[in-house]
């Protein structure tokens, strides 16, 4: 059985590879959840867009996030000038990417269900669509 941290790390590395193989630059911030300052799991971008992505992998049909997770992603994104996205992967499903506004408030935390991710989420291909063409480099 793979532990939760290893499963999340594997998912993050998978996304780094996907972004980089599609004309984007992408880096993983190791230990992002345990740092003193807000930092997302991934930073992905190209000459047109910058994305700050918090990644979650779950074995359930619903994923919960703490208020702190949401606040830190939002704070970092505002300071960095990046779009804030939640990337979530459910069993047997592709990655879905959601804006923070798409999360559901559940008392003191936030959640996203598989059903809602399918309705409101974007696949990684959709997230990059129209922004993956190579940009002319004058250098």
What is the per-residue DSSP string for 4-36?
A: HHHHHHHHHHHHHHHHHHTT-EEEE-TTGGGSS
**Cross-strand partners of 97:** 87, 122
How high is the pLDDT of residue 71? 95
118-122 — which CB contacts under 8 Å span 24+ positions?
121/88, 121/96, 121/97, 122/96, 122/97, 122/98
Catalytic residue among 32, 34, 39, 111: 32
Per-residue pLDDT at 139: 45
CATH for 4-128? 3.40.1350.10
How big is the chain, counted in residues? 139
Q: What is the pLDDT along the chain (139 residues), one digit of tens a residue?
A: 456 667 778 999 999 999 999 999 999 987 656 677 889 999 999 999 999 999 999 999 999 999 999 999 999 999 999 999 999 999 999 999 999 999 999 999 999 999 999 999 999 999 998 765 554 444 4
What is the model's pLDDT at position 6? 72
Contacts of 130 (CB under 8 A, 6+ apart): none
Res 34: pLDDT: 62
* Three-state secondary structure readout of 55-111: EEECCCCEEEEEHHHHHHHHHHHHHHCCEEEEEEECCCCCEEEEEHHHCEEECCEEE
Asked about 32 being catalytic, the answer comes back as yes
What integer pLDDT is reported at residue 2 of this predicted model? 54
């Amino acid at each position: 059985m793979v532990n939760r941290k290893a499963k999340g790390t594997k998912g993050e590395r998978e996304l780094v590879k996907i972004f980089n193989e599609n004309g984007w630059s992408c880096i993983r911030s190791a230990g992002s959840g345990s740092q003193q300052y807000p930092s997302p799991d991934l930073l992905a971008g190209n000459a047109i867009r910058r994305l700050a992505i918090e990644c979650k992998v779950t074995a359930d049909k619903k994923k919960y996030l703490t208020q702190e997770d949401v606040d830190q992603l939002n704070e970092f994104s505002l300071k960095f000038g990046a779009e804030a996205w939640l990337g979530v992967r459910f069993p047997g499903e592709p990655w879905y990417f959601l804006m923070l506004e798409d999360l559901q408030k559940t008392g003191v935390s936030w959640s996203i269900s598989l059903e809602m991710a399918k309705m409101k989420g974007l696949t990684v291909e959709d997230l990059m669509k129209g922004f993956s063409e190579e940009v002319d480099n004058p250098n």
